[in-house]
Amino acid sequence: MKMEKLNIKAIILLLVSGLIVMIACNKEEDFPRTRLFQPVLNEDLYSVDNTIIVNLGNMKEAQSYTIEVSRDSFLTTLYSFSSDTNLVVIDKNTVGEDLLWFTVYQVQATAHADDALYDSKPSFLGSVRTAKFPSNMGTPTLFDILDTRARVFWTPAGASITSIKVFAGDDERLTNPLAEYELTVEEQAAHEKIVGGLTAATSYQIAIYSGETLRGWEIYNTREAFVSGDNVLDLSGIDTVVNLAAVLPDVADGTIVILEGGKTYLAGGYAFDKSISFVAGYSFTPSLPVIDCSTNFNLSDGANVDYVTFKDIHLTAPGGFGSRYVFNIDQSGTMGEIKFESCVIRTLRGICRMKGGDGTLDKYTFYDCRIDSIYGYALLSVDKNTWQCNDILLQNSTISKTQYFLVSRNNSNSVVIDGCTINEAPEKGRQLFRWRESGQDDVFNGVTITNTIIGHGWNMTGETDFAIDGFDGMANTNWTIVNSYTTADFTYGVGKDEIPGLPVGNYSGTVEDLWVDPANADFNFKDTGFAGKGDSGDPRWRIGL
């Protein structure tokens, strides 16, 4: 009985197994044929020079592959070709022309079966950039590309570079030069050339050649035009020294004069009879343009000038500490404003002095300037009571080493000093504010000092006695002092006038404790615990809270 039961179980198992095999066989016979899988890479796409290597995984069922190439992620297809191998080199042999150097391409592949019905779908394989053309040409930086000029440079290697060609930005195969230049012996020796005559906000390709052999090229995207309009005098790109007194008489009122960084221009004693703005234009160097004030600016007799402004200009004079000014006015007239913005002004006897004639300067402004080494005629010296300066503004500026600070023989409307760092001003024993003409020695709307730090006076002998006089005259002048500091070595001389409301030594350390190197005009904060580090002094030195 037991044996019979076992036999019955075995028979049942056999029947079930056979049924499963039959079902499986039937399923295998009925399974429909499908497309080939999409191709995949054995390794990432890579380039060798200006060719692209595609190493596909080998598919036994694939009879061939179609390789497609694009540069816009297959919005359009540049090249399409067939390959019967899974290792593909994309080059002139496969696509009919050389690939471009240093250019991003996209690649996709389709695997083909023996029946097109079962071809794979296209498989996107990725992007790859071809190599950069091997060249000794330098890659341009910000200071190599201006609005209408470009600096092309290279290192000496192999044959000498003999010529330069300029092509349109979209002339990718460099076929139609817009301009060609044979290099001079000097340019070849310097390994650079300044190319001019370009159009602002335009893309170019500039190439270097040894004879007819291409040695390299770079893309130059010129900057937007610096300024435009009828009243623009562009003095950049001139190799010789320009005397402003020779060119300014012919310009119109309101002209913007563009000066080039790193170059020196002579003031030449020009006497203003019109409004002019001097600005630093684009430059191949980060240095400011220099106006040499060895012969000072003046005012034309009887002139009525709305403004004279300087922006991003370095104003100085060789050996000018004891003898030269930016303005040394000895004529009569009126001026709306003299303004210095983001300027460096140093090594002068004074910045603006009125020494003769009669007239009015309505506004006198320094903004974001660095001023040092000014001798006895101060930042402003109204040296005749027949001249008057109404409103004086010093803002966001650093002033150091000035024998006097502000001097006038006539009344003013206002003096505002905001966000300034002042050190070694004035000289020991002298007045910071000197309104010196009896009866004409007031600032009607007062002196306002806000968010400012004042260090000790200037001892020009190198000794450590820094005591100053606060002011002269100004008996009826009101003083407003807000959020301002003096260092512990800021002191007044015995019996001298103290500026009302200006705290003495509310910073407990010396100038050397507060600043990194005040003697050399480095006013970064050494004492990072200083209470006013985030909201006082020239903002260029502040530390964010």
pLDDT at 227: 84
Sketch the domain layout of the chain as residue ranges: 46-129, 142-221, 232-541
CA 74 to chain CA mean position, Å = 37
What is the C-alpha R_g of the chain?
39
Beta-carbon contacts of residue 321 (< 8 Å; ≥ 6 apart): 347, 348, 349, 373, 375
CA dihedral 412, 416, 420, 425 (to 10 degrees): 30
The secondary structure of 319-345 as a DSSP string is TGGGT-EEEEE-S-EEEEEEEEES-EE
Structure token digits, residue 264? 């020196």
> 352: helix, coil or strand?
strand
C-beta atoms surrounding 14 within 10 Å: 10
Using alpha carbons only, give the angle 63, 69, 74 rounded to the nearest 5 degrees: 110
Contact at 8 Å (CB) between 72 and 155? Answer: no
Q: pLDDT of 112-155, one tens digit each?
A: 999 999 999 999 999 999 999 999 999 999 899 999 999 999 99
- Model confidence, pTM: 0.84
* Torsion sign (Cα): 429, 535, 341, 363: negative
CATH topology of domain 46-129: Immunoglobulin-like (2.60.40)
Determine what percent of the chain is predicted with pLDDT higher than 70.
Answer: 94
pLDDT at 545: 58
Our separate counts of H helices and E strands in the chain read 5, 43
Asked if domains 46-129 and 142-221 share a fold, the reply is: yes
Contact at 8 Å (CB) between 261 and 285? Answer: yes
Q: Are strands 79-83 and 515-517 parallel, antiparallel or unpaired?
A: unpaired
pLDDT at 23: 42
How far apart CA 96 and CA 2 sit, in angstroms, is 84
Q: What number does CATH give the domain 142-221?
A: 2.60.40.10
Beta-carbon contacts of residue 180 (< 8 Å; ≥ 6 apart): 163, 164, 165, 166
Counting other chains too, the contacts that 177-184 makes at CB distance below 8 Å and 24 or more residues apart are: 178/204
Determine what percent of the chain is predicted with pLDDT higher than 90.
Answer: 89
pLDDT at 3: 41
Residues of the chain with pLDDT under 70: 1-31, 545
pLDDT at 377: 97
Residue 537, Ramachandran bin (φ over 0: left; ψ between -120 and 50: alpha; else beta): left
> 248: helix, coil or strand?
helix
> 56: helix, coil or strand?
strand
Single out the residue of 395, 340, 366 nearest to residue 537, CA to CA: 395
